Amino acid sequence: MPADDRLVAGLQPVREAIRVHGSALVRVLVDDRRLPRLDAVARFATDQGVPRVERVSRRDLERLSEGAQHQGVLAFAPPLALIAPDRLWAEPALLAVALDGVQDPQNFGAVIRSAVGIAGAAVVWGEHASAPLSTATFRASAGAIEHARLCRVRSLTGSLAAARDAGAQVVGLDAHADVDLTQVDLTGPTVLVIGSEGEGMARGVRRACSVLARLVREPRLDSLNASVAAGIALYEAIRQRTR
């Protein structure tokens, strides 16, 4: 696989890659077993103008998939486009989720899926101590990565401070905060910050927040799964914005 190509594995992720990129895909590989779900992917890729649609053995798929769960299909896609942070912070209707230290590709991908599916929100993360944009992340997003607005920054703390300087409200989600998220006005430019399940938000990231808010009132719960927290927070933001 050429260095610039991006490996996408799994039925739904590959379908979305075909839907979004079409002829820009390098190639699509499909298990040569004659199964309806596999035949349908091969036809869809051909119909969308993918230049190389190949039926290959399962052994070849296993070799090329780099350990990913491929479900009989692989695609080689162009690199994902990333948004520059300055451009993102300038959006008057900004809504973004910032991830601090979320290193599990499953959680990272699930957050991307929530951001795209619930609110069309951007996803921001620091280039260090975060899950990579890997095949596992693409698969966990169930193809949503192809529609996502992604912003990778050098320093999350510095970027959140820049967002505040640009007029955005930076809301850190903290189970022990005194304020409930429903009490925070999310109708203006907003960045919702989610820390890792184990450590929460780093000290510098907490200081960069405009306000800290809790999602649940149950004191026995220290934290929620990152993707669950993102889904709840994004739903509240959209609820407020569409009232």
Instruction: Name the CATH superfamily for 6-77.
Output: Ribosomal protein L30/S12 (3.30.1330.30)
The span from the CA of 165 to the CA of 157, in Å, is 13
pTM: 0.90
> Computed from CA positions of residues 153, 158, 160, 164, in that sequence, does the dihedral angle turn out positive or negative?
negative
Do strands 149-153 and 95-100 pair parallel, antiparallel, or not at all (unpaired)? unpaired
Nearest to 23 by CA among 4, 44, 49, 5: 49
Residue 1: its pLDDT value, please? 46
Give 8-63 pLDDT, tens digit per residue.
999 999 999 999 999 999 999 999 999 999 999 999 999 999 999 999 999 999 99
CATH fold for domain 85-241: Alpha/beta knot (3.40.1280)
Residues of each domain in the chain carrying CATH 3.30.1330.30:
6-77
In 3D space, the residue among 225, 208, 209 whose CA is nearest the CA of residue 102 turns out to be: 225
Query: CA-CA distance, 55 to 26, in Å (whole number)?
Result: 15
Could you say which residues of the chain have pLDDT below 70?
A: 1-4, 218-223
Dihedral class, residue 134 (left if φ above 0, else alpha if ψ from -120 to 50, else beta): beta
In the chain, ranges of CATH 3.40.1280.10 domains? 85-241
How far from 197 is each of 107, 163, 226, 234, CA to CA, in Å? 10, 24, 7, 18
